[in-house]
A and B are shown apart, each in its own frame.
Chain A
Amino acid sequence: MRSDRSLTIVTRTLAAISAAIVLLIIGFLLREAAPALRQLGLSRFFTDESWHPLSSQFNLTPMIVATLVTSAGAILIAAPLGIASAVFVNFYAPHRLAVWHRRLIELLAGIPSVVFGLWGLMVLAPIVATFGGSGQNLFTATIVLGLMVLPTVALLSDAAIAALPRPWIQGAAALGMGRSAIIGWVVLPGARRGIGSGIMLALTRAFGETMAVLMLAGNIVEMPSSLLSPGRTLNANIALELGYATAGHRSVLFVSGLMLMLVVSCIVLLISHRRGHQA
């Protein structure tokens, strides 16, 4: 089997390259963060007074919290909307409307994040400001982030539902079960894994999103006391400060990058571990 052997070599090489890139990035982050970690130790990033890198204060906790809050909030917005959209196009929308709905969702996925940020700033922030503050806060950032990751949940749930075996749905219908019962008992449980993957992917996208959140969250480094507090995420922190950071400060920023990867990896591992148990 000559062709099989060459394909084996090609797929192995390509897989090795993808894996190597991830490892190289982690290695790079570790190398760049090493001076700061050696000099300061890990605990100071949690116990320092505040984040004032120029005055040697390196507390990352408020930014970790802001990252977690905006991403989790985004999922709370995107998951119900995305799943509802997938159910709608598969079971409730007339064919033509379903086609247009899918196109719109795909379009939403294609909007650049800076445009989302701009829209949030000009349209959403003034509305949120009526609750108090400037409107540039975690709440505004969370809403926009939710809309940005919505297509991921919607499109993956849609694909998972569309891939369900037709006989399952026909079988339930043939037993005289109504549409909502079929969706609740057959469709959603059957598509659970695919929908879960969509939510997971959306969550990692939310963690990674920088620009829109930077434009909307207010960027003040302090422990948020409510959703209406301004905040700064880990990614925004890197984007904002890397331009002027030198030596020690620069290395500290790589620690925050490392921290972000650590948070994301922990959550991904935690969720996939739990799903492994269910399956």
Chain B
Amino acid sequence: MLIATENLSVSYNGRTVLRDATIEAKPGEILALVGPSGCGKSSFLAAINRLTEIIPGASVRGRIRFDGRELETVFPSSVDLRRHVGMIFQQPNPFAMSIRRNLELPLREHGIRDSGELRRIAESALRDVGLWDEVSDRLEQSALELSGGQQQRLCIARALALKPQVLLMDEPCSSLDPLSAERVEQLIDSMRGQYTVLIVTHNLAQARRLSDQVAVFWTQDGVGRIVEQGETEAVFNAPSNPIVASYLSGRKG
């Protein structure tokens, strides 16, 4: 297992939003996290890369293992952890800088200073997300001039440039138009085998197309929990939990 959580709970100012989430993701696997809004999926992702540290009032309990060892031991520093565990947000959030600088700034922050090296990594990351041919002649332009879909692919490239092992994606397609969403989905699909992807999505069809494993989150007594998980096809074809069955068939949620 590359990433495994055990009884992970997240609360904000003492109010628990997610309780006892236990999941496992193998290297190179895509794990979809589905379920209605407000049942702790995003909080779960934020707990993994310790983004909860900068959310006022957030606290996390439970264990996270990375490659079999405690995450705290493998990455005592959050800066280091986030280099190995990248994150993509619902709204594309490129910096208000040039396309090139968007890619190079995080690399510089991680100590890569050689300009040839920076250029090479930036180009290869842009090629990985299929953006190179679209932007190679305007790398100095502001990233904010790109379309929403291009911005999101730039954000993915920016994360990939750091050579992470895990990518956390929080509804990466939901703010995009259908064509851009399809591009991004193909891109995620192509990452299978290279990166371990944990993706939150409200699009059940997408979860089914994309993921190897699925975990269904549900709110019970006001607290988010994982109510079912397993191989994607098995869960979609024969869910054992009746709530999950009606949710996955579109009758609930």
A residues sitting closer than 8 Å to B (CB atoms) are 95, 165, 167-178, 181, 185-186, 189-190
Given contacts A177-B109, A185-B105, A189-B96, is CB(A169)–CB(B54) below 8 Å?
Answer: yes
Cα distance A190–B158 when bound, in Å?
19
B residues sitting closer than 8 Å to A (CB atoms) are 49, 51, 54, 56, 78-83, 86-87, 89, 91, 93, 95-96, 105-106, 109-110, 155, 158-159, 162
Given contacts A95-B56, A167-B89, A173-B51, is CB(A178)–CB(B96) below 8 Å?
Answer: no
- B55 to chain A: closest CB distance in Å? 8
Q: What are 20 of the A-B contact pairs (CB < 8 Å)?
A: A167-B89, A167-B91, A168-B93, A170-B51, A170-B89, A171-B155, A174-B51, A174-B82, A174-B87, A174-B89, A174-B159, A175-B83, A175-B86, A175-B158, A175-B159, A176-B83, A176-B106, A177-B105, A181-B109, A190-B96
Nearest-CB residue, chain B, relative to A168: B93
- A279 to chain B: closest CB distance in Å? 12
Given contacts A167-B93, A190-B96, is CB(A174)–CB(B109) below 8 Å?
Answer: no
Which residue of A165, A168, A175 is within 8 Å of B106 (Cβ)? A175
**Besides the known contacts A165-B93, A174-B82, A185-B105, 18 further A-B residue pairs in the complex with CB atoms under 8 A apart:** A167-B91, A170-B51, A170-B54, A170-B89, A172-B95, A173-B51, A174-B159, A175-B106, A175-B109, A175-B159, A176-B109, A176-B162, A177-B105, A177-B106, A181-B109, A185-B95, A189-B96, A190-B96
Interface majority SS (helix, strand, loop, mixed), chain B? helix
Which residues of A lie under 8 Å from residue B159 when comparing CB positions? Answer: 174-175
Which residue of A95, A167, A174, A186 is within 8 Å of B49 (Cβ)? A174
Task: Assess the A171–B89 pair: CB atoms within 8 A.
Answer: yes
Interface centre among B78, B91, B93, B105 (most CB of A within 10 A): B93
Task: Assess the A175–B162 pair: CB atoms within 8 A.
Answer: yes
Interface majority SS (helix, strand, loop, mixed), chain A? helix
Which residues of B lie under 8 Å from residue A190 when comparing CB positions? Answer: 96
Q: 4 closest Cβ contacts across the A-B interface?
A: A171-B93, A176-B82, A174-B87, A175-B106
Task: Assess the A178–B93 pair: CB atoms within 8 A.
Answer: no
Which residue of A165, A175, A181 is within 8 Å of B82 (Cβ)? A175
